[in-house]
Amino acid sequence: METGNIILILSFAIPVIVILIILYSLKRGLGKQKKYADELKEKISKAKPATAVVISASQGMTGGDINRIIHLKLQVSDGFSEPYISNATWFVNTLHFDKIKEGNVINVRVDSENRSIIYPDESWGKYTEGYENL
């Protein structure tokens, strides 16, 4: 095979290989995200309903225009045990900031395995992990 033919073949093969590697990586990453999302949905569905009184709420350093990271200190009461204090960090829709004022009662879900994990049971809140220090 001549050098010109080898260069021609490589000039087409290398970009195709790079594109295939990128597509494989994207597919693999999306698969992991879907798996995590499915596991989280299952955990939330197994969580026990409860109510919580907002003790304090503070805004995190990052967030978007519609949803902001909010750090909450909650007094959680599931109706079966003594109320306890727990911290939660959620994305909260900015149109509903009035719902997280100190003293307000909100609906939550308590993780069935770890009662310190509190999920929002309101449409305006989204559970987050990894934003506790922001």
pLDDT tens by residue, 5-42: 888 888 888 999 999 999 988 888 787 888 878 888 89
Report d(CA 77, CA 110) in Å as an integer: 9
Topology of domain 47-127 in CATH is OB fold (Dihydrolipoamide Acetyltransferase, E2P) (2.40.50)
Q: Is the pTM of this model over 0.85?
A: no
Beta-carbon count within 10 A of 90 CB:
24
Question: What is the rounded average pLDDT of the residues 89-102?
Answer: 92
What is the secondary structure of 9-42 as a DSSP string? Answer: HHHHHHHHHHHHHHHHHHHHHHHHHHHHHHHHHH
Query: Which band of pLDDT confidence, cut at 50, 70 and 90, is reported for residue 81?
Result: confident
Strands 125-127 and 48-63: unpaired
Q: How many CB atoms lie within 10 A of CB 69?
A: 19
Count the alpha carbons within 13 Å of 108 in the hemisphere toward its beta carbon: 32
Name the more confident of 72 and 64: 72
Average pLDDT over residues 74-88: 92
